Amino acid sequence: MFFNEHSPPHFHAEYGEYKAVINIQTLEVMDGKMSRRALELVLDWAELHQAELMEDWDLCRKHIEPHPIEPLQ
């Protein structure tokens, strides 16, 4: 996540040469692409951490450093 981002709430995911922007609320890809397997892993992780992602989104909108979220294992 980055400060001064546009709505809707989203996060950026990168895997190798792939990059995607994921909507936090719907878990849909807004932009970019990923391999099917990588996207499945990212979406599973996002579903587990959806509340934390929304909290961090709100913090970023207030220019407050977001809390770390456990990375994808």
Two structure tokens written together for 47: 């579903």
Residue type, 11: F
Residues 54-68, mean pLDDT to the nearest whole number: 93
Cα torsion 53, 20, 35, 23: sign: positive
Is residue 22 within 8 Å of 38, Cβ to Cβ?
A: no
Q: Which of 4-13, 18-27, 33-42, 53-62 has the lowest mean pLDDT?
A: 4-13
β-sheet bridge partners, residue 13? 20
CA distance 20 to 50: 17
Cα torsion 60, 62, 68, 73: sign: negative
Residues 56-63, mean pLDDT to the nearest whole number: 92
